Amino acid sequence: MIFTVQVKVMPLKELLDPQGKAVMGGLQNLGLKSVSDVRIGKNISLQVEADSPDKAKQIAEDASKKLLANPVMEYFEISVN
């Protein structure tokens, strides 16, 4: 069976996110003053062939650790649809 797995990779909360800061500046300039913080990460959608959702999640976790996320700067969250 094929599962769609979403991996959310975000910059660690302790770190500055200059890309997010730049976008926040842009939003303020556009008049959207009610946005007080912006952080930008990646969303990776994987099609995974596996026997069960748990297996699919395990494969996605393996992929995240090996390639998708850099643990020095990022954390990841996995959800299986």
Q: Which residues make up the interface to its own copies (CB under 8 A)? A: 2, 8-10, 20, 23, 26-27, 30, 32, 34-50, 59, 62-63, 66-68
In angstroms, what is the minimal distance from the CB of 5 to its own copies?
A: 9
CA distance 44 to 26: 25
Residue closest to 27 by CA, chosen among 42, 39, 10, 45: 39
Q: Which tokens is 19 given?
A: 């890309």
| Least Cβ distance, residue 72 to its own copies (angstroms) | 18
